[in-house]
């Protein structure tokens, strides 16, 4: 099997069983560094001649190997798609399930069927109204409900698809991230959180803070960052203290208080009128 000069020194042997041994030889082929020629030989019971079972080139522990082969359908990674690329979705994609198929529609004579018809009529009426009035579907309207239930789409997200998306989002912008752990408060109380529609709104919203780390991304309600709208309220400018004036009146004091009043003591250094006559 090997060309002349490709088989090197004997490097070891392994006993495979009774009278069966594999001998290993160094491979000198430059493109097969670390590979070894494995030659398995055996001897039948009571036979005197050893026979050759197999010779094959096998990788050793330090052999240079090609990466494991990945099917083309699994090679696409998030972010690989570019402008103009098309990504076909398999018919059996587990993330999706049929929208309104009509398969489980009730019998025409049942009450539920009449209700479905009425609902369909209302949806048609709303559709007609919306086409004349260029406006997005109003929240809470029948058309919005029909859209949410998947009655306007061929396929909708399956339960598995919802869970997979929720896990993915929670991993990137969830409560366990270092940013959320250090945040002063969580997104659920932040003014920049835009709520989602549907069942995912119970746990997620969209951040609309252009200075935040998750602007435009779906964030868990338990995520948070330092850009929380109520995290650092700006201090109000200090209010100057009012003047300490307790009166605006002028108090009048008599120059010579009455001697008999006794309430005001006599001025100690006031000159006595009697001194000049004695």
Per-residue string for binding with ligand SF4, 223-252, x by CB under 6 A? xxx-xx------------------------
Which has the closest alpha carbon to 202: 152, 149, 162, 168? Answer: 162
- What kind and span of H or E run contains 167? helix 159-172
Q: Shortest gap between Cβ of 139 and ligand SF4 (angstroms)? A: 20
Distance CA 189, CA 227 (A): 12
Q: Shortest gap between Cβ of 197 and ligand SF4 (angstroms)? A: 17
Report the site for ligand SF4 in 196-215 (rule: CB under 6 A): 207, 209, 212, 214
Report the site for ligand SF4 in 18-77 (rule: CB under 6 A): none
Q: Judged by CB under 6 A, which of 39, 123, 156, 193 binds ligand SF4?
A: 193
221 binds ligand SF4 (CB under 6 A): no
187 binds ligand SF4 (CB under 6 A): yes
Which segment (14-22, 33-41, 149-157, 221-229) binds ligand SF4 by CB under 6 A? 221-229
Q: Shortest gap between Cβ of 227 and ligand SF4 (angstroms)? A: 4
Other C-beta atoms closer than 10 Å to the C-beta of 155 total 16
Other C-beta atoms closer than 10 Å to the C-beta of 13 total 13
DSSP 211: T
192 binds ligand SF4 (CB under 6 A): yes
Length of the chain in terms of residues written: 278
Which segment (55-63, 155-163, 218-226, 245-253) binds ligand SF4 by CB under 6 A? 218-226
What 3-state class would DSSP assign to 58? strand
How many binding residues for ligand SF4 (CB under 6 A)?
A: 14
Which segment (89-97, 148-156, 189-197, 237-245) binds ligand SF4 by CB under 6 A? 189-197
The answer to whether 26 and 8 have CB atoms below 8 angstroms apart is yes
Q: Is 6 exposed, middle or buried (0-12, 13-18, 19+ CB in 10 A)?
A: middle
Q: Which is nearer to ligand SF4, 130 or 208 (CB)?
A: 208
180 binds ligand SF4 (CB under 6 A): no
Other C-beta atoms closer than 10 Å to the C-beta of 172 total 13
Distance CA 52, CA 37 (A): 14
Distance CA 89, CA 3 (A): 49
Q: Which residues bind ligand SF4 (CB under 6 A)?
A: 187, 190, 192-193, 207, 209, 212, 214, 219, 223-225, 227-228
């Amino acid at each position: 099997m090997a060309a002349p000069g490709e088989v090197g020194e004997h490097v070891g042997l392994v006993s495979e069983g009774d009278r069966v041994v594999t001998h290993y030889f160094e491979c000198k082929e430059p493109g097969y560094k670390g590979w070894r020629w494995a030659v398995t030989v055996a001897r039948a019971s009571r036979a005197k001649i050893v026979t050759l079972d197999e010779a094959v080139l096998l990788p050793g522990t330090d052999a240079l190997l090609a990466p494991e082969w990945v099917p083309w359908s699994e090679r696409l990674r998030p972010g690989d798609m570019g402008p103009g690329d098309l990504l076909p979705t398999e018919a059996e994609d587990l993330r999706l399930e049929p929208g309104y198929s009509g398969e489980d529609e009730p019998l025409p004579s049942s009450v539920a069927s009449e209700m479905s018809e009425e609902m369909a009529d209302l949806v048609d009426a709303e559709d007609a109204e919306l086409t004349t009035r260029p406006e997005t579907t109003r929240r809470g309207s029948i058309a919005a409900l029909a859209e949410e239930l998947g009655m306007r789409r061929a396929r909708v997200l399956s339960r598995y698809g919802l869970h997979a998306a929720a896990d993915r989002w929670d991993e990137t912008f969830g409560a366990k991230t270092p940013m959320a752990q250090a945040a002063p408060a969580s997104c659920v109380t932040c003014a920049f959180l835009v709520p989602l529609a549907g069942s995912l709104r119970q746990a997620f919203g969209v951040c609309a803070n252009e200075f935040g780390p998750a602007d435009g991304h779906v964030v868990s309600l338990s995520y948070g960052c330092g850009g929380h709208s109520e995290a650092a309220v700006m201090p109000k400018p200090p209010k100057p203290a009012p003047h300490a004036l307790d009166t605006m009146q002028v108090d009048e004091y008599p120059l010579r208080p009455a001697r008999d009043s006794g309430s005001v003591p006599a001025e100690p250094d006031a000159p006595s009128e009697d001194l000049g006559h004695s």
